[in-house]
Structure 1
């Protein structure tokens, strides 16, 4: 999932963008921002960059194997037709 430090940074940015009167509410509001962000982001169907890269490599290898099998099948089919 997402890095907790990034969530803290986003929550801090939201907190900093508030008018001074609301900033005085303090860290409770910042904590709520973090909770809301985590809850909403956890609903998203996302993967880490590492997981994405791994799956991309798996897909690439699978594509290569499929191309090799298609080539072999074509060769076998052309041999049978002769």
Structure 2
């Protein structure tokens, strides 16, 4: 994977090439720039906001379950300490 500086340098070079040639129609220029940005974002391994929010929900649920299980284990350990030894 490219370093952030190398990635931005590459993007800068590609953008400069895009604007250096003959003037393109606005729609075509926008399409090429969107394609270039999309390629850049793909290389950055970004996730969508929707994916991030979903993972935060999963994490919150998992954390709540873990805390409940930790409380249950602590309760069982206290019960085991207070129980009379088996003969």
TM-score range, shorter chain: 0.5 to 0.7
Q: How does 1:1-82 map to 2 (within 5 A)?
A: 25-27=23-25, 30=29, 31-82=31-82
| Gapped regions of structure 2 (runs ≥ 5) | 1-14, 83-87
Supply the distance in 1 between the matched residues of 2:70 and 2:43 (Cα, whole angstroms).
40
1:47 to partner: Cα distance: 1.2
1:36 to partner: Cα distance: 2.1
Moved over 3 A (4+): none
Q: Give the paired residue count.
A: 63
Note the aligned Cα RMSD (angstroms): 2.6
Supply the distance in 2 between the matched residues of 1:32 and 1:49 (Cα, whole angstroms).
24
| Gapped regions of structure 1 (runs ≥ 5) | 1-13
TM-score normalised by structure 1 residue count = 0.61
